Structure 1
Amino acid sequence: MYWLSVLSVLTVVPLGFATPPSPCWDDMRLKHSWDSIPEKWECQGHPPAGTTIDLRVALKPHRKNALIDALYEVSDPSHSKYGAHLSKEQVAELVAPHPDTLELVGSWLACHEVPSTAVSITHGGSWLTVYNVPLTQANALLGATYQRYRHIETNETIIRTISYALPAALHEHVQTVAPTTYFGSPHALRLTSKVMSNGPTLPNGDPVLQNASSTFAPGAPLPSTCLKTITPECLRRLYNTMSYKPQARSVNQLGITGYLGEFASQSDLTKFLTLFRVDALPAQFSAVVVNGGINDQNQPGVEANLDIQYAESISYPTPNIFYSTGGTPPYKADEQTPTNANEPYLDWLDFILNQQTIPQTISTSYGDDEQTVPQDYAESVCNLFAQLGSMGVSVLFASGDIGVGGGSCHSNDGTNSVKFIPIFPPSCPFVTAVGGTTQVNPEVAANFSSGGFSNYFSRPCYQEAAVVSYLTKLGGQNSGLFNPNGRGYPDISAQAMNFLVVVNKTVVIVSGTSCSAPTAAGVISLLNDFLISKGRSPLGFLNPLFYRAPTSFNDITSGSNPGCGTSGFSAGTGWDPITGLGTPDFLKLQAALG
C-alpha cells in the first residue's frame, strides 16, 4: 500500500510538516486533568530553566478497531485464522493513522516551532516521539504547567503536569500524550512480592534444603515439604510439567521484564538450581539492558531473582531473557534534565516492539492502581500489549497483592467515595492476569490476591459467560463498590506464598503474585514449546483459548480477597475475581491443544 510505503520512509527520515494554519491552533480543549495532586506526591515547584523532556504522542488509527479485530481472529480457536499471527508490517498497517492525522499533528508542532528533525515515528506510525522539548515549549503545546513532583515515600522526583489540553481539532486524532498526567513513574509502581519476615524459618538441617535437589520420579507424590514452603519441585508436580522435555529451545524463549533498577544474578541462579533443580545446571539467562537499565550483578533485586529463578527452573532448558529497563535512580541527570521523566512501560514497549525476535512468553510483576493511570494513557498502553498478542506473544501480569483494594480505597473521581481499586495493567483485556493461591491438596485463594473489575475497560466477549455466571451467583453483594460491566481479572492463578528464593547467596522466603506470574509463564512457555516442536504457531494471546477450556485448570473454590473494609470477593466454582479460572494443569492444556 502507498500509505505503508510512506510510513516506511517516515520512520527513517525526518517528518515533513504541512504549512501551519492560521490562527495558530489556539482553540485548546482539556484532554485530562486531576482534581488535585495525586496521592503521595508533593509539588516542588518549577524545574530549572532550560529543562527538557521527550514527548510521546499516541495517534488514533485510521481504522479504529482493526487491530483488536485481528487480535481476536488469530486468538480465537474457533476462527479460521487462529494461530496465523501477524508480522510487524501487518500490525503497522492496522494501526496506521489517517494521512490527515500526521499532517494536522505536524502543522500543530510546526506552529510551535518544533523542528522536524526532532520528531520520529514508531510503532507502525501510531506514535510520534518529540525529542528534547523545552518545558516552556511543552507548556505552550499542551496548555500545561509542568512542575517537579516528589514521591513522599520513595523521595523520587519526576516532572509532570496535573492537566493538559490539545487543540480541539486534534482530539479526534490524538489518543494521549506522555509524560503528562501519569504519576505512576518507576518507584511508584507497586512490586508484587514481599520477603516474609514472619514466614517459616529455615534452620540448619531443614529437610526442605536437605532434600531440595533430589530428583523425584514423574509419578511420585507431592513432597511433604510443599506444605511448608514452595520450590520448583512443588510447582512442577502441582501443575503436571515433570514429564515434559522441551524440544524447541532453539526457537522458543521466555522473557521477564524488570523495572525499578532490578536485575537478576547469575550466581544466585546457579546456587538456586544447585539447591532446588540440580538437573538444570548449568542453566544461564540472557540479560538485556533497556534505556539505561542495570546489570552489574551486585546487590540483585529480590523481584528479579524470584522471577528468573522460577521461570528458568520450570521452563528449562528453554532460553530465558531478563529485560532490565531503566528510568529509575540511579538516574544520570544533567543540567538540562535534572529529574526522571521516563514512562517505564512505554520505554520497554518501544524497545520490544522494535525487535526482530520477541520471546513467545513474557511475564511482568509490576502494577499501579488503575485510577492513578489516566484512562487515555491506559488505553494506549493496553493497545501496545494487543500488538504483542497479535504477533504471537503471550503477555502475563501478576494481578497484585492488595485484595480488592488497599488503604482507604477512596476514589479519585471527585466523589471521594469508597470503591474497590482495580490494578493496571492486569485490568487490560489484552493481557493474562495471574492471581495467587496457597496451600496444596487442595489449593485455596491467597487472601492478598488482587482481583475485581476494571473501571476503564468493558468486559471482553471471551469472558462474558464466565463473568456473568459469577455475578449471578454474587447477587447484590458488594453492590456499588465495583463496576459489574468491567473487564474481570485475574484470568488464571498459581501458587503465591512461601517461595524459597536465593538472594545474595542466601535463601529467603518470598510471597506475592510476583511468585504466581513467572510460575504460570513457565507453564505457558512449555506449552509454546510443545506447539512449536510440532511445527505449529505459539499460543499468542491466551485468554480466548483459556476461557474455552476451563476444565484444563484446577478450579479454586475457597478463599477470599478482603480489602477496603470488606470481605472482598469469594472464590467458588468456575471463574472468580480472585483466582480466575484456576491454576494450570499442563497435561490437560496440552491435550486440549491436540
Structure 2
Amino acid sequence: MIISYSAFAAFTLLLCNAAALPDSHAVHEKREATSERWIKRDRVNGLTTLPVRIGLAQSNLDRGYDYLLDVSHPDSPNYGKHWTAEEVAKKFAPSEESIGAVRDWLTSSGIDRKRISHTTNMGWLTFHATVQEMENLLHTEYYHHEDSETGQVIPACDLYHIPNHITEHVDFVTPGVGLNVRNHPQGGPPSPWKRGINDHHEPAKFQEFPHEKIHNNSDLATCDIAITPACIRALYDVPLPTTAVKGNTIGIFENGNFYAQEDLDLFFSNFTPYIKNGTHPILDSIDGGVAPVPVAQGGGESALDLELAYPLIHPQQVTLFQVDDINYSNGSLNASGIYNDWLDAIDGSYCTYSAFGETGNDPSVDPVYPDPLPGGWNHPLQCGVYKPTNVMSVSYSAQEYNHPVNYQKRMCNEFMKLGLQGHSIFFSSGDTGVAGRATDPAPNGCLGPNHTIFNSRYPNSCPYLTVVGATKVYPGHTVFEPESAANDLAGAPYKTAYSPGGGFSNIFPIPPWQETAVASYFKHHNPPYPYYSGNEPLGYGGGLYNRSGRGYPDVAANGDNIAVYSAGKAHLSGGTSASTPMFASIVNRINEERLLRGKSPVGFINPVLYAHPEVLNDIKNGSNPGCNTNGFTAVDGWDPLTGLGTPNFPKMLELFLRLP
C-alpha cells in the first residue's frame, strides 16, 4: 500500500503535536512494533520529572578494523604494540565536536547548562527535565506503558525527533522508544528462553566409556578410539610444557555448568600423572558464580574444557570465569544473554558503554542484579573486578537471529577493544553444521518459511574472534595421518548427530584479513547452493546463505572421542567445545615463549594466520550437513567448516617468535 506524503505528514503531526515540527528536524528513533505484553495507557503528566540521558555517538567505531590490523597484521610496523585500556577508551570516546554540538542544542532549547552533566565514561550527557520540556525538545508525546506480566510502568514515546545537524552526534535518547523488560518472574514456570535451550551448555557428544579399553594412556595406537593428552600432543607436535611465566594464565568461560575437583583428580591420576591431584583453577566468580561442586553434580562442559587445557599448559595456570548465580545458571530466572556479565566484570567501562542504541546490559536479554531470590547474587552487577587473561576460551554459543542486531554489534565492538589490548579470544563454531539447534527456530534448526536457510551463530560471526571448528581421527586411522572434519550421524554411537558449525554471517561483512581466503574459496570451490548478499533480505531469491557475510570458523582442532572424567565416571566426549580450549591452550603456550623473550602476547591472531596459512594443517575431507543439505565441504585452503586448518605447533611457534 502506498501512503501519500500528505497523509504521512498528518499522521506524524497527530503523533507529535506537542509542538509544530520544524523542517530542520527528523525522526531519530521510531518503535517499529510493540509486544502484546505492553499496554499503552494515559499521557504522562507534563510536570513529571524524568531522568534524561543522551547517548553520544562514539568516535572511530568505523575504524576498528584498521586499528586492530595495525597491531595484529604481521607486516605492520606496529605489530604487537597493543593499546592500554585508557588509550582504547579515549580513542572511541565521543568527540569534542559531538559533545559541544549536543550541549549547544540543549541549551538553545531551554535546558540550562548548569543542569547538564557529562558522565565520567564520556558517553552521556545527563540532566533532569519535565515531561513537557522533553516533549517540546523532541517533538513527541510521552505515554505510560504497562507491562501486563510484571506490572512495571514506564514512560515512553512512539517516536521522537532531533535536529538534522545533531543526528550524527546522538546515538539515542532515554526515556525514548525503548520498552525494556525486567526478567524476574512473578511466579510460574521459566519462559522458553531459559538457559540450556538456546545456549550451548553441554558437549555435543557424551557417552560413558569403560576406561579399561585404553590399556596404555601413552599408546598412540588407540587414538582412533579415544583422544588422550598423548594423542593431542602427537597430532599437533606439542611438547610437554616446562615453564610458567607469572600471570600467563588461560581463561576458561563457564556458565550454567560446574566442575568437580574429584573429576579433575581422576583425570590427572589416569592420564596426566605429572599433574598433582588437587590442582585447580583460579576462580574468578562473576555475579555469584559458584565452583567447584560435589562430584555428582560435575558438568560435562566444565570437565571437558579444564581437562583439555591442563595437559597442554601445566604448570601454567587456568583462570575460571564462572559466570552468574545459580538462579540464572539453572534457568529459574530468564535470560538468554550470557556474555555481557563476563565482559562487564573484565572491563568496567563496558557496563555503561553506549553504541548502536545499546548501553550497558539489556534487561530484556541479560540477567538483572541484585537477584533477591534464595541463593541469588543479591549485590550490584560486578564491573571491572577482574583482569582479562591473555587468552580466553569460550565453548558456548547461540544463533544470530536470537538477539537484536545492535546488541550483537555493541558486543562485537568490545571484542575488538580487547583485541587492541592484546587479548586472544576463541569461540566454538557450534555442533549442528549449517543449522541451529533443533526447534531453534524450527525442528531442523533452520530459518525462513520453508526452514531451508542456514542459521548463523552468535557471537561467532563477530570478525574480532577466532572461531574454532572440529576434526576427528576416524576409525582405522592414526594421528600421523591427515584428520577429517568431525561428522557423526545420530546413533553412531551417540544419541545426536554432530558436525562442526560453519557458514557466513547475516550481520557482519567479510573482514579485510579474510577477503582473499573467502574469494579463493568461492572461485575454486563454489558451494552448489543459491545465495543472497549485501543488504538483500534473508533468503532473497531462494538463497540459503549470505555470500557477503563474515565466514567462520577460522581454524579447527580435534573435537571427537575425547577421553574425560565427569560426575565420577569415564566418558567419551566431543564437539567444538573440545577443539576450542585445545587450540586456545596451544596459543597460550606460544604466548609463554614470547613472554620469556620479552615480547608481547600475540593478541588477535587472525590476520597473522590468514597471511600465513602454511603454519596450519589444511583439512580436505568432510562436511557439515544441515537444513536438508550436505552443508559445506572441507577443501584446499580456507573453508566454512574447518577454517584454515588445525595447529602445527612448531610452525606456529617459529612464526610468532619471528614477529616483533
User: Shorter-normalised TM-score: what interval?
Assistant: 0.7 to 0.9
CA 315–128 in structure 1, closer or farther in 2 if over 3 Å, else same: farther
For residue 61 of structure 2, give the secondary structure of its aligned residue in structure 1. coil
AA at the equivalent of 1:255: G
Q: 2:149 & 2:216 partners in 1: Cα distance?
A: 51
Tell me if structure 2 keeps the 8 A contact 1:249–1:319. Answer: no
Tell me if structure 2 keeps the 8 A contact 1:256–1:362. Answer: yes
For residue 501 of structure 1, give the secondary structure of its aligned residue in structure 2. strand
Give identity over the alignment, percent: 31
The structural deviation recorded for 1:22 is 8.6
CA 554–105 in structure 1, closer or farther in 2 if over 3 Å, else same: farther
Matches within 5 A, 1:283-322: 283-295=279-291, 297-298=293-294, 299-322=297-320
For residue 631 of structure 2, give the secondary structure of its aligned residue in structure 1. coil
Structure 1 residue 467 corresponds to structure 2 residue 461: no
Tell me if structure 2 keeps the 8 A contact 1:175–1:380. Answer: no
Q: 1:454 & 1:585 partners in 2: Cα distance?
A: 28
The structural deviation recorded for 1:327 is 5.8
Matches within 5 A, 1:448-527: 448-475=499-526, 477-480=528-531, 481-527=544-590
Matches within 5 A, 1:295-374: 295=291, 297-298=293-294, 299-326=297-324, 329=327, 340=334, 343-354=337-348, 355=384, 357-374=387-404
**Among residues 250, 259, 272, which one is paired with 1:277 in the alignment?**
272
Structure 1 residue 191 corresponds to structure 2 residue 200: yes
Deviates more, 1:281-290 or 1:547-556: 281-290
Q: Counterpart of 1:542?
A: 605
Structure 1 residue 247 corresponds to structure 2 residue 243: yes
AA at the equivalent of 1:228: I
For residue 453 of structure 1, give the secondary structure of its aligned residue in structure 2. strand
Q: Counterpart of 2:632?
A: 569
Q: 1:315 & 1:159 partners in 2: Cα distance?
A: 52
The structural deviation recorded for 1:339 is 5.3
Q: Counterpart of 1:403?
A: 433
Tell me if structure 1 keeps the 8 A contact 2:193–2:334. Answer: no
Tell me if structure 2 keeps the 8 A contact 1:363–1:517. Answer: yes
Structure 1 residue 202 corresponds to structure 2 residue 209: yes
Deviations 1:311-359 (A, max 9, x none): 12211111111111116625899xxxx9546843211111112357421
Tell me if structure 1 keeps the 8 A contact 2:435–2:446. Answer: no
**Among residues 599, 605, 616, which one is paired with 1:553 in the alignment?**
616
Tell me if structure 1 keeps the 8 A contact 2:557–2:579. Answer: yes
Q: 1:24 & 1:291 partners in 2: Cα distance?
A: 46
For residue 544 of structure 1, give the secondary structure of its aligned residue in structure 2. helix
For residue 231 of structure 2, give the secondary structure of its aligned residue in structure 1. helix
Q: 1:391 & 1:399 partners in 2: Cα distance?
A: 24
The structural deviation recorded for 1:522 is 0.8
For residue 522 of structure 1, give the secondary structure of its aligned residue in structure 2. helix
Deviations 1:275-301 (A, max 9, x none): 111112243211111122222523232
Tell me if structure 1 keeps the 8 A contact 2:424–2:604. Answer: yes
Q: 1:381 & 1:149 partners in 2: Cα distance?
A: 28
Tell me if structure 1 keeps the 8 A contact 2:259–2:292. Answer: no
CA 119–588 in structure 1, closer or farther in 2 if over 3 Å, else same: same
Q: Counterpart of 2:262?
A: 267
Q: Counterpart of 1:427?
A: 461
Q: Counterpart of 2:7?
A: none
Q: 1:93 & 1:172 partners in 2: Cα distance?
A: 19
TM-score by length of 2: 0.69
AA at the equivalent of 2:397: G
Tell me if structure 1 keeps the 8 A contact 2:205–2:575. Answer: no
Tell me if structure 1 keeps the 8 A contact 2:393–2:425. Answer: yes
Deviations 1:397-432 (A, max 9, x none): 0001111113445546xx777311110111100000
Q: Counterpart of 2:482?
A: 442
Deviates more, 1:434-443 or 1:354-363: 354-363
The structural deviation recorded for 1:126 is 5.0
The structural deviation recorded for 1:99 is 4.7
For residue 560 of structure 2, give the secondary structure of its aligned residue in structure 1. coil
Tell me if structure 1 keeps the 8 A contact 2:284–2:320. Answer: yes
Structure 2, gaps ≥5 residues long? 1-17, 40-50, 128-133, 135-139, 184-191, 349-383, 437-441, 474-478, 488-498, 532-543
For residue 591 of structure 1, give the secondary structure of its aligned residue in structure 2. helix
For residue 456 of structure 1, give the secondary structure of its aligned residue in structure 2. strand
Deviations 1:45-100 (A, max 9, x none): 78xxxxxxx99997531233344322110001100100000001100111102356
CA 556–545 in structure 1, closer or farther in 2 if over 3 Å, else same: same
Total equivalences in the alignment? 522
Q: 2:639 & 2:597 partners in 1: Cα distance?
A: 34
CA 579–57 in structure 1, closer or farther in 2 if over 3 Å, else same: farther
Deviations 1:438-459 (A, max 9, x none): 1142211123110011111111
Tell me if structure 1 keeps the 8 A contact 2:38–2:145. Answer: no
Q: 1:94 & 1:29 partners in 2: Cα distance?
A: 25
Deviations 1:237-290 (A, max 9, x none): 2111125x353431311001112x323223321221111111122432111111
The structural deviation recorded for 1:497 is 1.2
AA at the equivalent of 2:225: K
The structural deviation recorded for 1:196 is 3.8
Q: Counterpart of 2:538?
A: none
TM-score by length of 1: 0.76
Q: 1:339 & 1:117 partners in 2: Cα distance?
A: 37
Q: 2:420 & 2:528 partners in 1: Cα distance?
A: 37
Structure 1, gaps ≥5 residues long? 1-20, 38-42, 47-53, 131-136, 151-157, 217-221
Deviations 1:166-205 (A, max 9, x none): 65568645658999599977445421643646x5x633x6
Q: 2:633 & 2:158 partners in 1: Cα distance?
A: 40
Q: 1:455 & 1:492 partners in 2: Cα distance?
A: 20
CA 180–29 in structure 1, closer or farther in 2 if over 3 Å, else same: farther
Matches within 5 A, 1:204-223: 206-208=212-214, 210-212=215-217, 216=218, 223=220
The structural deviation recorded for 1:30 is 4.5
Deviations 1:470-515 (A, max 9, x none): 1112336112211111111000001111222222222222221111
Tell me if structure 2 keeps the 8 A contact 1:144–1:164. Answer: no
Q: 1:353 & 1:194 partners in 2: Cα distance?
A: 28
Tell me if structure 2 keeps the 8 A contact 1:74–1:82. Answer: yes
For residue 397 of structure 1, give the secondary structure of its aligned residue in structure 2. strand
Tell me if structure 1 keeps the 8 A contact 2:429–2:576. Answer: yes
For residue 579 of structure 2, give the secondary structure of its aligned residue in structure 1. helix
Q: 1:295 & 1:119 partners in 2: Cα distance?
A: 40
CA 416–377 in structure 1, closer or farther in 2 if over 3 Å, else same: farther
For residue 570 of structure 1, give the secondary structure of its aligned residue in structure 2. coil
Tell me if structure 2 keeps the 8 A contact 1:95–1:126. Answer: no
Q: 2:648 & 2:503 partners in 1: Cα distance?
A: 24
CA 294–468 in structure 1, closer or farther in 2 if over 3 Å, else same: same
